[in-house]
Amino acid sequence: MTDIPHSPKSLGGSIAEVRSKWGWFVALGIAFLVLGVIAFYNVVIATVASVFFVGWLMLIGAVAEIIHAFGVKTWGSFFWWLLSGIVYAVAGVVTLMNPLLASAVLTFILAISLIAGGVLRIWVGMKARPDANWGWVVAGGVITLLLGVIIAIGWPVNSLWILGMFLAIDLIFQGWSYIAFGLALKR
């Protein structure tokens, strides 16, 4: 059975449906852009908001793991799942009760992750040296490494604003992406 070019089940039909919603993408992009600008001017509040979000996600994960513990068939697995859920719950509660401590820990983990990622990218780029554009991989790795080192040097003081700044930058870029996508769909 072949699809009619603009039937609801065809790719053309799906593209036409998405294209008709271009305004929603632009509106979502504007909303993200506005939220990103607000977060950029209130990076400390944005940091606390992102930490609270992570804390609630940990509590939701804890509940899911504890429920799952009661669904496993063996006692040994039950205790491991239950312990995992309890650890998640404690981490979530600590995160919600002390967002400054949590932001410091998350910022430190971010710095370590960026340093490790940068070193890995530099190594991968150097291993690919005979190939074209290997320098871009190394350059990206150097930037990532430097960003991680800068965050680590400023830690723990910068943990009050780093996560909020990253959130703001992400929201702004997502906003522009949705606006560009929506306007491209309109054309």
Contact 148/114 with Cβ under 8 angstroms?
yes
Secondary structure of the chain in the HEC alphabet? CCCCCCCCCCHHHHHHHHHCCHHHHHHHHHHHHHHHHHHHHCHHHHHHHHHHHHHHHHHHHHHHHHHHHCCCCCHHHHHHHHHHHHHHHHHHHHHHHCHHHHHHHHHHHHHHHHHHHHHHHHHHHHHCCCCCCHHHHHHHHHHHHHHHHHHHHHCCHHHHCHHHHHHHHHHHHHHHHHHHHHHHHHC
Contact 92/55 with Cβ under 8 angstroms?
yes
pLDDT digits (tens, 9 = 90+) for 42-87: 999 999 999 999 999 999 999 999 999 888 878 778 888 899 999 9
- Taking the whole predicted model, whether its pTM rises above 0.75 is answered as no
**Predicted local distance difference test score (pLDDT) of residue 12:** 67
Contact 81/72 with Cβ under 8 angstroms?
yes
Q: CA gyration radius for the chain?
A: 22
Proportion of the chain above pLDDT 90, given as a percent: 57
**Predicted local distance difference test score (pLDDT) of residue 29:** 92
Contact 171/33 with Cβ under 8 angstroms?
yes
How many residues belong to the chain? 187
Contact 137/85 with Cβ under 8 angstroms?
no
Which amino acid, one-letter code, is at 121?
R
Averages of pLDDT over each 10 residues, the chain, 187 residues: 55 72 89 94 91 94 92 82 92 93 92 94 88 86 93 90 90 92 83
**Predicted local distance difference test score (pLDDT) of residue 152:** 93
**Predicted local distance difference test score (pLDDT) of residue 182:** 87
Beta carbons within 8 Å of 160's beta carbon, 6+ residues apart: 43, 44, 47, 100, 103
